[in-house]
Every structure is written in C-alpha cells, then in structure tokens.
C-alpha cells in the first residue's frame, strides 16, 4: 500500500464569527428586544423556548433555569435527594455536580475512577466504599464526553 501525502489542512474547532454573521440580523433583533424591555429573567422568550423544548422532548412541560448547576439540583430534588442523603460521584467531576448535591442539603461522596477508562471503577468503589448501599443517588459524569 502506498501512502499519499497531502498538504496539512487546518480545521477550525469553532467558527463563532462566521456563525454569528450568518444569523446577525435575527440575533441582533432578539438581543435588542430583550434589552429594550429589560426582560433579563423569564419573559416571552423563555416561555417560548420552554414550549419548544418540551415539544422537542415529547413531554408536556419543560423548565428553563439559570445554569446547569441549578438543573442538576432540580433533578436531585425531584428524586427526593435532601439533607442526610449521600450522592456518589467520580472524583474527576466538575464542581457543579458536587455543588448541586450540597444545594439540596445532601453530601457528595467521591469515588475513585478507573485509570484506563477515566470512569467510575466498580472495583475501586467496592474496595473504597463499603457503605455504597447508603448512597441515595449516584451522579454519572461524562468528563470530556467520555462514557460515564
């Protein structure tokens, strides 16, 4: 088999300027509308997004929140997680995972990760956490898109 060499090609990771330019009139009008009404929280745009997203997900309702941390907190609360509970999560999680647990009054418990797969290690969890059964929930995390 013969290899052919070609000139290196630069592939841009994100082309935000080009994407903005393509949608500039629509984006600028939406931003101007929000600024003009001082509608920074809630408002018609959020309600419209919630309706659209609920339809997209095939569910009757969706709720827009301020951050991913708040979204995680709401999910934990909906699952009944609260004071006195423990939530297991990998040690290499982003701080928002632990913060959401703390916001419910529960306690984050960090478990080791498999050094080869960079995900929770069942062996390490069994070895290091004999009280695993005490967890109210487990928070799988996908660091950098890796399997949780």
pLDDT in tens, the chain (148 residues): 566 677 787 777 788 999 999 999 999 999 999 999 998 888 888 999 999 999 999 999 999 998 999 999 999 999 999 999 999 888 888 899 999 999 999 999 888 776 665 555 555 554 455 445 566 677 766 655 555 4
Same domain, 86 and 141: yes
In a domain, 4, yes or no: no
Which pLDDT score, from 0 to 100, does residue 70 have? 95
Which value, to the nearest 10 degrees, does the dihedral of the CA atoms of residues 88, 90, 96, 98 take?
A: 30
Q: Is the dihedral of CA 135, 139, 140, 143 positive or negative?
A: negative
- The total number of structural domains in the chain stands at 2
Listed residues 57, 82, 109: the one ending a domain: 57
Q: Which domain holds residue 123?
A: 68-145
Same domain, 42 and 79: no
Which pLDDT score, from 0 to 100, does residue 108 have? 93
Which pLDDT score, from 0 to 100, does residue 130 have? 40
Which pLDDT score, from 0 to 100, does residue 7 have? 79
51 within 8 A of 75, measured Cβ to Cβ = no
């Amino acid at each position: 088999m013969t290899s052919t060499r070609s000139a290196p090609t630069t592939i841009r990771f994100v082309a935000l300027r080009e994407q903005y330019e393509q949608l500039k009139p629509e984006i600028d009008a939406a931003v101007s509308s929000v600024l003009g009404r001082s509608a920074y929280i809630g408002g018609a745009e959020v309600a419209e997004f919630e309706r659209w997203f609920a339809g997209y997900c095939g569910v009757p309702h969706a709720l827009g929140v301020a951050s991913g941390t708040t979204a995680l907190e709401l999910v934990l609360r909906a699952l009944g997680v609260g004071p006195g509970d423990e939530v297991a999560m990998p040690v290499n999680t982003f701080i928002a995972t632990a913060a959401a647990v703390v916001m419910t009054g529960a306690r984050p418990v960090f478990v080791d990760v498999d050094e080869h797969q960079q995900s929770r290690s069942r062996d390490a969890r069994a070895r290091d956490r004999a009280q695993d059964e005490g967890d109210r929930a487990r928070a799988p995390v996908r660091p950098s898109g890796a399997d949780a």
